[in-house]
Amino acid sequence: MTPEKLFNDIQAYCQANGDEALVKKYSRYFKDGYDAYGLNHDKIVSKVKSVLDTPGADLDYIIRLGRLLIKSGKYEEVYMAVLMLQSFSKQFTIEVFEELGHWFDIGIHNWAHTDYICGDLMQLFFKKKIIDFHYLSEWRTADNKFKRHAVPVSLIKQLKTTSDFQPFIDFIEPMMMDPEREVHQGLGWFLREAWKKQPEPVELFLLKWKNKAPRLIFQYATEKMTPEEKQRFRKEK
């Protein structure tokens, strides 16, 4: 079966098993819209397993199928593509990383997919030493705001791999005046997690930017601080 025919089969499966009540339930978590069928997790995993059992479904096949699923924009189809790619982690190369970057360009458009990719999929490339954080340099200025959001969020788990957070902090600094809320959230989340482990360099960084950068970054970054600690990072009038 060609990837195109299997894509049509997946769409038919999703349409047949969708639940409008689930779409309504989860749509409130997606400010930019939630384009979904309403499949529960078990049905998604079941279909992914059947696809991976398809004769000839190697990595190249899954990449071709993945592009079709990502372009569709449907929540479940994008999630299936991510799960399928993850199952080939032993075969990851720099070319697969570049393909993942392309996925952001053609169809990753919500925080849930982005955070799953960052928290689980991206870490496999780091762990296998296929990339280091410098490979995300061009992502910092990508057209897709979720690709930019992915930069600081991908670094969160990398905090466990080093005792020197300054290179990460320096790396995200060019993003501090990004115009998008989702990027502010990602930056603040990263800074909060870094602060919990090494408060001093993060606090110095926050003090440097407190009168210039968007306040949402600080809202997230200082979330675990005491009220007295937060006062230091209020914007001066």
Residue 181 belongs to a domain with what CATH number? 1.25.40.290
For residue 26, being part of any structural domain is answered with: no
Q: How confident is the model over 130-176, as pLDDT tens digits?
A: 999 999 999 999 999 999 999 999 999 999 999 999 999 999 999 99
For residue 21, being part of any structural domain is answered with: no
Q: How confident is the model over 44-102, as pLDDT tens digits?
A: 999 999 999 999 999 999 999 999 999 998 999 999 999 999 999 999 999 999 999 99
Instruction: Calculate what percentage of the chain has a pLDDT beyond 90.
Output: 95
For residue 72, being part of any structural domain is answered with: no
Model-level pTM?
Answer: 0.93
Residue 1's pLDDT is what? 85
- Note down the domain range covering 210: 132-237
Residue 120's pLDDT is what? 85
For residue 97, being part of any structural domain is answered with: no
Domain total in the chain: 1
Nearest to 77 by CA among 236, 85, 131: 85
